[in-house]
Every structure is written in structure tokens, then in C-alpha cells.
Amino acid sequence: MAFDPARTFWIANEWYWRITEGATTLTAETAVRDFARPLLRLLGRPVEVAVEAPDLVVTLAEQCTPITLAKQVGDRVAINHLISDLNRVLVGAGLELAFAIAVPRRYELCGALLDLSELDRLYGDPQLLVPSTRRSWIG
């Protein structure tokens, strides 16, 4: 699976292990630093993301959206919820785009900005880590 490098970023290797080993380390600060900011930067338009403990707040197209992290769950579930919530922000802004996290090579994670048809084609591909359900975040 190859993505346009202009629409991807590499996620710190430690997250691969946290996700696969069931760690519960995701905080609002790490969610913003390691996932939300880099993913939103891929949009190439003004987006603000801030921590308003214990939540994140994303401002896109003059819409301010609070995102509450999933509590008392493993990092894989919490990150899946975070990416789904960020995808809801994109849909709410009228964008036909979605974020995903893939495992392009063993022990590596990549964040990617995809159009919705690209994401649809990836469902069922074992390299797609997040989102783990088909467009449950739309609607």
C-alpha cells in the first residue's frame, strides 16, 4: 500500500507497540502532539487544535468542535475513536476526506489523508489500522 508522501506522516515507532500491546497511555497532550496536529497539518489549510483538559478542541472552517478522548480503554480503541472524531470534523466542514492510520511495514505506523473512495477501497486490507469500521463516523 503506497500513499502520496505529501499526504502522509510517520508516527513514532513507540505507538506501534503501545497499540499492539494494549497500553493505556493516550492523553489529550499526546493525542494532539502525535496524531491530531500532524494529521490536520496534511489538510494544507488553517486548522487549530488545542488541549482544553481533558478534551481537545479542533477549529476548522470556523467550526469549533470539542473531542473527548475515550477513557479507560486501550490506546488502540482510544486512537480509533480519536481518528473517527477527527473524520467527523472533516465531514462537518464539507470535506470529502478522511484520516487513516496504516501499517505500511511491520512495526511502523503512518498517518494518511485520503479521499473517501480511497478509504473505502482499503477496508479489509490488514494494513489499515484505523479507522476500524466502515464509515461509522459519518452521519
**Domain residues of the chain, as ranges?**
10-130
**Has residue 137 got a pLDDT over 60?**
no
136 confidence band (pLDDT: 50, 70, 90) = low
User: What distance in Å separates the CA atoms of residue 123 and residue 87, rounded to the nearest whole number?
Assistant: 15
Q: Which of 52, 8, 17, 46 is nearest to 31 (CA)?
A: 52
65 confidence band (pLDDT: 50, 70, 90) = very high
Mean of the per-residue pLDDT values for the chain? 90
- 73, 58 contact by CB (below 8 A): no
pLDDT value at residue 1: 57
CB atoms within 10 A of CB 73: 15
pLDDT one-digit tens code per residue, 44-54: 999 999 999 88
pLDDT one-digit tens code per residue, 25-63: 999 999 999 999 999 999 999 999 999 988 899 999 889
Give me the mean pLDDT over the 81-93 stretch.
Answer: 94
138 confidence band (pLDDT: 50, 70, 90) = low
